[in-house]
Amino acid sequence: KRFAIFASGSGSNAEAIWQAIVDGQLSAECVLLVTDNPAATVLERAERYNIPSFSFTPKSYASKEEFEEEILVLLNSLQVDYIVLAGYMRLIGNVLLSAYPNNILNIHPSLLPAFPGKDAIGQALDANVPKSGATVHYVDSGMDTGPIIAQASVEIEGCDRTEATRRIQAIEHQLYPRVLQQVLNQQEVFK
């Protein structure tokens, strides 16, 4: 299967996915990185893994439909089967949702449905929960609301923000490539 990663920031999850391909743990082809932030660090990581990228500035389009249409042309030309969101900081609109029904995945740094939206790690720390984690789910039109595919949890009790973030990211980097291997190759997902 062929997939594109959408990311807005650092791209540590994108890198974990690309490394899993290099290591032979993920058999699928990442044919494109899409970013809405031309200054994102993920672009440097993409270069290191020889992943072609498309960056765009949402402000220079009249609407979400317009930039999603442009992205869709690119995805079609590259015969992309799946869209993999990895820290993509915007909601997917109708153009891409209807072009890729059930074929868009996201990772979120909490045990959904707890703590959707921004700063999920901060939300979990503020709520004093002993455990948090990461969730991979299908994307629908809501914010972190689509059907859950798999989760992994980790203790965060007594952690400061840096340590909680480190622990949650570490499990994200394990979970996402593993789930992609199963979903993209249509295997059963073991939680």
Q: How far is the CB of 124 from ligand GRF (least distance, A)?
A: 12
Strand order in the sheet with 131-138: 53-55, 29-35, 2-7, 82-85, 104-108, 131-138, 148-155
Does 143 belong to an annotated binding site?
no
Does 90 belong to an annotated binding site?
yes
CA distance 172 to 13: 7
Q: Given the complex with ligand GRF, which of 55 and 65 has the nearer CB atom?
A: 55
CA distance 174 to 99: 29
Q: Which residues bind ligand GRF (CB under 6 A)?
A: 7, 9-14, 86-87, 107-109, 172
Q: How far is the CB of 77 from ligand GRF (least distance, A)?
A: 26
Q: Given the complex with ligand GRF, which of 9 and 69 has the nearer CB atom?
A: 9
Residue with the CB atom nearest ligand GRF in the bound state: 87
Q: How far is the CB of 21 from ligand GRF (least distance, A)?
A: 16
Does 111 belong to an annotated binding site?
no
Tell me the catalytic residues.
Answer: 108
Q: How far is the CB of 146 from ligand GRF (least distance, A)?
A: 13
Does 91 belong to an annotated binding site?
yes
Q: Which residues are annotated as a binding site?
A: 11-13, 64, 89-92, 106
